[in-house]
A and B are shown apart, each in its own frame.
Chain A
């Protein structure tokens, strides 16, 4: 039982990261109609941006959720950097290209290589870490539930939840958010209604890339940082987006939660005697994704936006 709780706790942390990545991928699909393979490297870019910024701000006093205040400043810098780069990429590369969604997909793979090459040339391929002391499991949880959860895990879950709620409020409670939903729903009708969709699309790139960057920063905080972390997780993010219903923001959240959980619950299969180890977690997650799609071809959330 404690073991299941432990898997669920791990799943919650991993899901938080996947959800942050999924939202942007789905947003971009809904407006630009292509699978953006540079999205994983946008996550990586944010993580390195935060690394550099943490070098500057890391020494600031005070802590939030057990992490230095400087970390959250670095997080914001990483998110801003990813947003700027994504907007520039949109304006300079994707927008001028007169091609179909396959052409854009292949282009985005090229963009991913460029992002990664720049990061690799600047920082090398060694594993790096944010210079924050790791603390052990939170004693109360360890004593009462026998679950090892660090303060860092809690900080990731809480931060992701704050960002997701903020996005939800933006989408549902503000005119800008409604314009985003309207543009994703039907771009032609949005223009007919008077919405300046060019601007709304830029906002969507900003929001999607900033959230991806946050996911990248938390992924690096959870494990460590190298130029491939984002790309390595991209297929899992795709699985989440497709499971949820591609193009749907809330579907991406739901899909991210499920895929993250399934990924971390895979050891259960080993526990009940099946010869499936944690190394096969991505495969298990994908098998379940396909199984769900056989039943619900448009994803769990269908055509919710």
Chain B
């Protein structure tokens, strides 16, 4: 693993009185894609929400590099190089595509026009619909917009919650391709994915969560090959 850019260390967290994460620890290496997989209710999305300040860690620490970010507000975390793409309701439906992208850049110091222009180049589907309201987009297009909105800040770390949720297989594949492209351009990615095999397939490393804690972790390939992980969490035999 490369040097850790994001470290979650012994975190308990949850909603109100309900605890979801139980002494959860994981690290994201610089330049990596890491994928969180596991059954419904394992706490995958809760990890992202706790890292991004939507939830406050009850105990433990969340660090970006050496800096403690546990309990910081999302609007501050986004300013220090972390982006987040929620699973649902991840675009402003009543705003245009262009306005959505510009809202993604409210915390930028400058260069907004340039980065938005680059994103239009990279995602022509958005360029074609600049002035359309985001609620008119298809599911796949929305996912691209949600993704692009988070990229306007040019984050060092991007947290993505179930990029393929609700998408047809072809569209999901395109979204995974986009995730890989963004990673190749230098963004480290921590991703939650229900579709575990596909998610691990594009990842460097993986974490299998169950009951709020990490049960298995390792190279994505070795998790895919691990018969026990396959049987318990990936719905069948290992691929080889």
Contact = CB atoms under 8 A, between A and B. Distances in A.
Report if A and B associate in a common complex.
Answer: yes
B94 A193 contact: no
Contact of B84 (A178, A192, A197, A303): A192
Interface string B72-99: 0111001100001010011111110001
A181 interface: yes
Interface residues of A, number: 20
Given A178-B102, A190-B103, A191-B73, A185 B78 contact: no
A194 B75 contact: yes
A303 B94 contact: yes
B94 A189 contact: no
B74 A179 contact: no
B28 interface: no
A35 B45 CA distance: 33
A195 B103 CA distance: 8
Given A190-B103, A193-B106, A181 B95 contact: yes
A179 B95 contact: no
A131 interface: no
Contacts of B125: none
A254 to B, nearest CB: 15
Interface residues on chain B, size class: 20 to 34
Contact of A193 (B54, B78, B89, B135): B78
B104 A188 contact: no
Interface string A266-305: 0000000000000000000000000000000000000111
Contacts of A193: 78, 103-104, 106-107, 149
B189 interface: no
Contacts of A196: 75
A192 B78 contact: yes
B65 to A, nearest CB: 20
Dominant secondary structure at the A interface: helix
Contacts, number: 67
B75 A185 contact: no
Nearest to A196: B75
B52 interface: yes
B153 A194 contact: yes
A182 B103 contact: yes
A192 B94 CA distance: 17
Contact of A178 (B91, B93, B95): B95
Nearest to B73: A191
Contacts of A175: 102, 106
A181 B89 CA distance: 15
A186 B92 contact: yes
Given A189-B86, A189-B89, A194 B107 contact: yes
B107 A185 contact: no
Nearest to A184: B94
A178 B99 contact: yes
Nearest to B152: A193
30 contacts: A175-B102, A175-B106, A178-B95, A179-B106, A181-B94, A181-B95, A182-B95, A182-B99, A182-B103, A185-B92, A185-B93, A185-B94, A185-B95, A188-B54, A188-B86, A189-B86, A189-B91, A189-B92, A191-B75, A192-B74, A192-B78, A192-B84, A193-B106, A194-B75, A196-B75, A303-B94, A303-B135, A304-B94, A305-B94, A305-B95
The 7 closest A-B pairs by CB, nearest first: A194-B107, A305-B94, A194-B78, A191-B74, A185-B92, A182-B103, A193-B103
Interface of B: 52, 54, 73-75, 78-79, 84, 86, 89-95, 99, 102-104, 106-107, 135, 149, 153
